[in-house]
Each structure stands twice: as C-alpha cells, then as structure tokens.
Structure 1
Amino acid sequence: MGSFLPDSSSYELLTIIGRGLEGLMTVNLARYQPMGEHVAIRRIDLESCTNDMVNYLEGELHVSKLFHHPNILPYKSVFIAENELWVITPFMAYGSARDLISTHFTDGMSELAIAYILLGVIKALEYIHHMGYVHRSVKASHVLISADGQVFLSGLRSIFSLIRHGQRARVVHDFPQYSLPIHTTAPSVSTSMPL
C-alpha cells in the first residue's frame, strides 16, 4: 500500500465512474487533496453487505497486500469512512480495455495495440501464478490503462490460492459468489496513448 492518508476528508469526490458488487459499490474519480493527484475510490456500503461479502472483501484486501508488481493495480490506501470501505487506487485515465474497445476502437484494435496490452496482462499473470494464485476473472474490464499507457491487471477479488492444506491444488473447483463485473463509464480524457 502507498502512503496516502486514510482519511476521507483528504479526498474530494468529483464524479461517479462506475458501480458494482450488486449495487453496493460506487467507484468515484476523486482528487487527493494533499498532492492534487487524481485517484479512483471504490466505496463499498458495508452495512448492506452480508457476512459472506465482508469475508470476500477481507480476502481481496489480504491478497492485495501480498502482490507488488508493476502490472498489478496497487492499492494506495484502504480504510473505513463511516459505514463504507474506501479502497484508493491510482486513476486510470484510459479506463479499461473494455472501455477503449467500446468507445475508441469499435472496429477493433491493431495487432500492435493488442500485443502491448496482452504483454502487461501476461506479466501480471506470470507473477500471480508464481505466487501460488490464479486470477479467475481475466477480462477486458479488469485490464486498466493509465494516462502514460501502463497496463494494470485488476479484479483481485477473483484471485484464488492454489495452496490447500499445505499442498498445491491441481484443479480449481471453487467459484466465488461475488465475482460480478464493475460497470464503468470512462471519463473523457484528451491525452494520447502510445498504442
């Protein structure tokens, strides 16, 4: 985790850029006031979450502390603000690969752009597998792209450990109940990305 303050008054909420987790999560574009930096904030209504959902979120936060890789979306801060869990991440100016395909590349991306994005995803997956986990929800909406063209894999709530009772599992049969997609709306950004 980064060194961003765990205090909701340090963040100015600007606009909603997504929703998810059965309507219990709102994703906001915000400004981290001490540095003036734009961030994304996942705000999850804990009062409306079931115990299973809370356990699921705890697992995601635990895994996020284990992973440190340049192609995995980092969590800058995680804290409770009133009845909400706030997860602070860097703002991805280009949104997800899904957003790019539906808004800018409706006729398809070039092979070079696809290769560049997939290289970032493969590096992240290689690291996750090396750590003894699998990511069971690799999809375009979990592939995020920053303003400088860096590719990040997100969706850590779909991570599953291959280690069971001290042994590496050969197959994965357990599927999480709450691996639902986040519906996002990419804000318009007028910068260019090297694709």
Structure 2
Amino acid sequence: MVPTRRSLLSAFLTVPILHQLTIRKALAQSASLELTPACGDDDDLTLAREAGAFYKPNAPLRHELFNDAPAGESITLAGLVLDPDCQPIANSLVEIWHADETGKYDTSGFNLRGHQFTDENGRWWFSTIVPALYPGRTRHYHLRVQRPGGTVLTTQLFFPNEPRNEGDYLYSDDLLLEVSDSADGKFGRFDFVV
C-alpha cells in the first residue's frame, strides 16, 4: 500500500529528530548523490540563489497553500532547519513563493505564498502544488530561511530529473529536493543548513 502525503508528513512530524538525523546521515553515506547538503562544517551551508522578480514581503503565516491552485498537482514539502553542527534550529523563519499550475506568479495577492516558523525540533512544512515551468526556467520553488538573529538565506529548490535543469543558470544539484510519490500526490524533502 502506497502511503499518503498526510501519513508521510505525520511520520516526519512524530519521529524523534535525533532518529531522523541518524537515518539521513546513514542514507547519505550510501547514496551516490547526496541530495540534501550535509551539515558538519561551514562549507556545507545551503547555497544562496536570487529571489527573482516576483518576491513580495508580508506573505501570510500559513502551511496550507494548495487551495490557492486546486487544479495543480499536490505536493507536501517538508524538512529541517539545521545549524552547521547538525543541530535543529527552532523558531526559524521559512518563507515560500512559486508559480502556479500554469507557470504564472500572483503579483496582486498572496496566492502560493506563505511563511511559517520551525517548531521546537527545527521542522517546517508546506502543502502546495508542483509549479509549472516558468518561461526560461526549470521547475522550482523560491524560499527564504532565517534562523533567529541570523542573516536571511534566499535560495531556490529544484526537482530531480527535470529536462530543463541543466540549462537553467540558477540550477544546482545541491538544491535538489528529494521527491517521492504518494497515493495522493508527491512528497518533497529538503533540509536547510544555515
């Protein structure tokens, strides 16, 4: 039986954080391509990328973005915000914005835009859609991450195996989501190291 996005998110939110980090380190050691940059030293901080032309401040506080584009393909994005010593950072700001299912950004309101703060274990998540291709770019999400009292990391996350990845000047393997299929959409995972 294939799990649902809700069951995958529930498992992510209930499994103890130390256990999650141990599992991820073990998987990273056996993988040929490390999808989420590992923490461990300052050289492994998450890469910055430009915000792009469609950033808007003051996005609403919310986890659920899917209702802004119900015709889109469902995806739940989740992950951790970690410091360079692999410790989770509570109360970190995580902000997201992206194109809709037709490749357009909402420039008059706050559709497919939101922010939240990580929980006490450094976890964040959004329920949203898979964005359509935007002219001249590969499929991607824009995010801003800021640990309490820290500088803002502005970056972008990308999908694996996208034909346009290699031609996108902002693309990097270090910013690939881990994406899996579920019974009701996709589940994407990325841990930020700030």
Give the structure-2-normalised TM-score.
Answer: 0.29
Of structures 1 and 2, the one with the larger relative CO (CA 8 A, separation 6+) is 2
Give the structure-1-normalised TM-score.
Answer: 0.29
Structure 1 or 2: more helix by fraction: 1
